Amino acid sequence: MRIVFFGTPQFAVPSLERLLQERYSVAAVVTQPDKPQGRSRSTLVPPPVKRAAIQAGVPVLQPLRPTGDLFLASLRRLEPDIGIVVAYGHILRPDLLTLPPRGMLNVHASLLPRFRGAAPIQHAILAGDAATGVSIMRMEEGLDSGPVLLRLETPIQANETAGELSVRLADLGATALVKALGLMDTGKMRPEPQDASAATYAPKIDREAARLDWSRQAEALARQVRAFDPAPGAWTLHHRAPLKLFGATPREESGEPGTVLSVGEELVVAAGNGSLAVREVQPAGKTRLAVSAWAHGRGITPGERLA
């Protein structure tokens, strides 16, 4: 079985590595172009999947978009049997989805049809779900709507951040992918159509979705902080400047929403019901640091308001 692998971020790396460990034939990796970084934007940083592919000696394709006759012709020359897509970051058009004879499989970080879309990990935490998982889905034109070949479930741990959960789901996705391919090889795969009436959606996170509304309950605010850790970071305003908050837990102390109740090892801020205790902050243009270090330098005191 010759595979073309589509992926970009670190989340996709375990699936690629597991395929290679299981000695599947990966004909090529398709990923996004290197990104310029640094003040002058002169340093090009390759995607994590590209680094893993080069280390394994796998050819890499980096089209700006996975479209056009030239790109499709380059894939046809590889004669792939199947495509694997793991957090690639582009919508694939029908002419690409049907290019491999056995179609395209997607490793999706939710228990479909719950949380179709770009940010299922963050939305599972935001919703307070007790469990999530990964789904291996046969891709079609709709948004994550194709039949599911396999699901693996895992509990969401107390105080688990999106970053921590992403690491676990990346490994679980690699396991699920290899298991699904094994079932395909033995003819034991039974694709299950999704119940569209049960579908929920996890749209891409924008900056406003990460802003904290102090009139909400402390438990909901704590989930918001965990859902956006490490990126983009749940934020509020302090002296009219953005301040990102990390390591939050709900507390019982109460006060006017947004009011700083105490400052020490933790920053405790009143919410609509109870309060939120935060261990780390990141002021605008600064690195992430402990509350005690930031408070010593900034001089934040009880009674101040965050907005």
For the stretch 160-196, pLDDT in tens is 999 999 999 999 999 999 999 999 988 888 899 999 9
Q: Are 258 and 306 in contact (CB under 8 A)?
A: yes
Query: Model pTM?
Result: 0.95
Q: How confident is the model at residue 37 (pLDDT cuts 50, 70, 90)?
A: confident
Nearest to 4 by CA among 96, 82, 106, 87: 82
Measured CA to CA in angstroms, residue 57 lies from 17, 52, 61, 71, 75 at distances of: 12, 9, 13, 21, 18
Question: Mean pLDDT across the chain, nearest whole number?
Answer: 95
If DSSP codes are grouped into helix, strand and coil, which group holds residue 299?
coil
Q: Rounded to an integer, what distance in angstroms lies between the CA atom of residue 153 and that of residue 132?
A: 6
Nearest to 160 by CA among 112, 191, 120, 128: 128
Measured CA to CA in angstroms, residue 44 lies from 50, 56, 63, 168 at distances of: 12, 21, 15, 28
Kindly list the domain boundaries of the chain, sorted by start residue: 2-198, 208-298
CATH superfamily of 208-298: Formyl transferase, C-terminal domain (3.10.25.10)
- Over residues 214-249, the pLDDT tens digits come to 999 999 999 999 999 999 999 999 999 999 999 999
* Cβ neighbours of residue 251 closer than 8 Å, sequence gap 6 or more: 218, 268, 274, 275, 276, 277
Q: Rounded to an integer, what distance in angstroms lies between the CA atom of residue 179 and that of residue 185?
A: 10
Which amino acid, 62?
Answer: Q
Report whether pLDDT(299) > 80. Answer: no
pLDDT for the residue 282: 96
Report whether pLDDT(86) > 80. Answer: yes
Tell me the average pLDDT across 99-114: 97
Cα-Cα-Cα-Cα torsion 59, 64, 67, 68, nearest 10 degrees, comes to -90
Other Cβ atoms less than 10 A from the Cβ of 73: the count is 9
Q: Are 12 and 87 in contact (CB under 8 A)?
A: yes
- Return the structure tokens found at 7: 């992926």
Overall CATH class of domain 2-198: alpha beta
Q: Rounded to an integer, what distance in angstroms lies between the CA atom of residue 47 and that of residue 55?
A: 13
